[in-house]
Chains A and B, each alone.
Chain A
């Protein structure tokens, strides 16, 4: 996109930066929208904390210890907490990109207005992505601080937890953006939430090691993005870092790229007819 008032920027990097800079307007719009509804975002901080208290400590007092994949034994709370952090990053990203983007796309028709400005599809996708990342970052940082003070970060690798959570959030935000364009009515939310997000939450090694299941089921579970998100963040918080975490990283980056590509294509289809 060129405008008369700006000199044409040279190079792909400059163009990318211009797009990100323009996309910030959408983030500003979302901040203004939430100004009187901040409790919706803030209350999400407490969800993993309640789970950590209830399952991690309450049930953890009975379970006590869990064996990690590398044979080390850790307290149950130290096992569950990183999984709850990964899940919180996913939820922050997914709620924003599935529910809110659906609403803006189909009811509020926000993007039709946005497209009448110098912003294009790329800026919309970037803007929503940045906003979803900010929300997910809030949850991840809050949980990181709690884990730090509760002594649930067992290794210096833990310093990388927040950046890793941002990658997790980006991957799920892209998936949410891609998925929401396929939904037609509010009743369709059952499908991503009930058939994808909820089962993933239960079966990605969140509350117990997946090794208790038969091998074919384990392979299926390992194919899900949340499994890799949890494996990556649990590896960092417990210090059990190995090649598995490199695979997690590669999976999440690839997953992000594929979902983002689908999201852009779908958005273009929906908005520009």
Chain B
């Protein structure tokens, strides 16, 4: 069996489990952006004066916020899917041990899990984009590009987090990751307020963090304001993160399963 075919089997295993829960997952995938946009978008938008909207490049706050939330959703879903479920398959349910006694190898496991993450985030991003369209936010058909970018954000985070999870002996470290990495990224990546509000040094830090690049690309695609100069940089950052993450994930999981 080739690595690709074996990855397909790993993907299929996740699909069989998910098939029983998909309707609930999609319903929450729809509900969450609706609630966030109605609350934060409209609610906070009502507190902003027309003059203060200049900070958001002159667009309505809800239009500015929506695409940022889409990027954040990709990160959060990828994070959740790559922590507890992966740890379960490593040590609680021991699914990987069973898989490795078949022609499925470590590379196929990582490949199959990443393909699964891509599928999940792809469906959720599509639903999210539909919600944004219901709020009349996308400016042009270019907005469709937000879906592959969201998938890239998702797999980049998934790969890095699988690499992290493979090194953990229990789930205590996940709390630290959620609270000290994911939550600050959610709040300080230009999702809720423009980074120009931050002092210069902190702006430089934000440029070094991953979600910021996803937010810029997705917002650019949806509001039809992609900058041909910076877009390749953002894309390059995410691709590099994905590459390094996937390499580390395979290496760490191989070490862990050899224990």
**Residue contact A207 to B55, C-beta cutoff 8 Å:** no
Q: Classify chain A's interface size.
A: 20 to 34
Give A195-211 as 1s and 0s: 1 = Cβ < 8 Å from B's Cβ atoms: 10011001100011000
Residue numbers in B under 8 Å from A51 (CB-CB):
187
Cα(A39)–Cα(B44), bound, Å = 33
B179, CB-defined interface residue at 8 Å: yes
Assess whether A187 is in contact with B193, with CB atoms less than 8 Å apart: no
What chain A residues lie within 8 Å of B38 (beta carbons)?
A: 202
Are A62 and B24 interface neighbours, CB within 8 A? Answer: no
Residues of A within 8 A of B14 (CB): none
Count B-side interface residues using an 8 Å CB cutoff: 34
A63-93 interface (Cβ within 8 A of B): 63-64, 66, 76
Q: What is the minimal beta-carbon distance from B120 to any residue of chain A, in angstroms?
A: 15
B31 CB within 8 Å of chain A = yes
A153 CA to B179 CA in the complex, in Å?
Answer: 25
Known: A58-B197, A61-B197. A202 touches B179 (CB 8 A): no
B183 interfacial contact with A, CB 8 Å: yes
Looking at chain B's contact residues, the main secondary structure is helix
**A40-B175, A50-B184, A194-B28 given; A58·B48 CB < 8 A:** no
Contact yes or no, B39 A203, CB < 8 A: yes
Closest to A65 in B: B47
A43 and B39 contact, Cβ closer than 8 Å, known pairs A61-B197, A190-B28 = no
CB pair A63 B48 closer than 8 Å:
yes
Taking Cβ atoms with an 8 Å cutoff, the residues of B that contact A are 21, 24, 28, 31-32, 35-36, 38-40, 42-44, 46-48, 52, 55, 170, 172-173, 175-176, 178-180, 183-184, 187-188, 192-193, 197-198
Q: 8 pairs across A/B with beta carbons < 8 Å?
A: A40-B175, A46-B183, A54-B192, A63-B47, A63-B48, A187-B21, A203-B35, A207-B40
| Chain A interface (Cβ < 8 Å from any Cβ of B) | 36-37, 39-40, 43-44, 46-47, 50-51, 53-55, 58-59, 61-64, 66, 76, 187, 190, 194-195, 198-199, 202-203, 207-208, 212
